[in-house]
């Protein structure tokens, strides 16, 4: 098996076997972890309109609390990635990481 084919093989699967048994699939799913993007915990929309919703997190800490709640419910999302807002690159501000001090 080549490194390119490794993603097609489940842990404990016999080399060359076409299908894994059900227990092997369940074991592999139990080890699955999903990293949630922080932008997923905000208002949704397009560049033309933002669709505001009640209860949307207002701060990075509230987003982290929401991500932790998702992990408590699902057990498969122990990490959240932090993303900066799109405007930070063009318009530095005290809340952006590229702000001059």
**72 pLDDT above the threshold of 90:** yes
Q: Is residue 66 part of a domain?
A: yes
Give the structural domain span for 62: 57-82
**For range 51-64, the mean pLDDT:** 87
Q: Is residue 88 part of a domain?
A: no
List the helix and strand counts (H, then E) for the chain: 2, 4
- 3-state secondary structure (DSSP) of residue 34: coil
Q: Is residue 28 part of a domain?
A: no
**71 pLDDT above the threshold of 80:** yes
Structure confidence at residue 13 as a pLDDT band (50, 70, 90) = low
**For range 28-46, the mean pLDDT:** 85
**99 pLDDT above the threshold of 50:** no
92-101, Cβ contacts within 8 angstroms, sequence gap of 24 or more: none
pLDDT of amino acid 100: 43
pLDDT of amino acid 39: 83
Q: Is residue 91 part of a domain?
A: no
Q: Is residue 77 part of a domain?
A: yes
Q: Is residue 48 part of a domain?
A: no
- 3-state secondary structure (DSSP) of residue 50: strand
Residue 58 CA to residue 38 CA, distance in Å, equals: 12
Structure tokens at 27: 């074991």
Q: Is residue 64 part of a domain?
A: yes
């Amino acid at each position: 098996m080549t490194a390119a084919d490794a993603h097609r093989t489940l842990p404990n699967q016999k080399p060359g076997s076409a299908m894994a048994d059900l227990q092997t699939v369940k074991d592999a799913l139990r080890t699955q972890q999903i990293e949630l993007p922080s932008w997923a915990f905000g208002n949704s929309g397009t560049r033309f309109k933002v669709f505001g919703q009640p209860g949307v997190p207002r701060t990075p800490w509230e987003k982290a609390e929401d991500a932790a709640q998702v992990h408590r419910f699902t057990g498969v999302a122990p990490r959240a990635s932090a993303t900066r807002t799109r405007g930070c690159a063009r318009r530095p501000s005290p809340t952006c990481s590229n702000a001059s001090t």
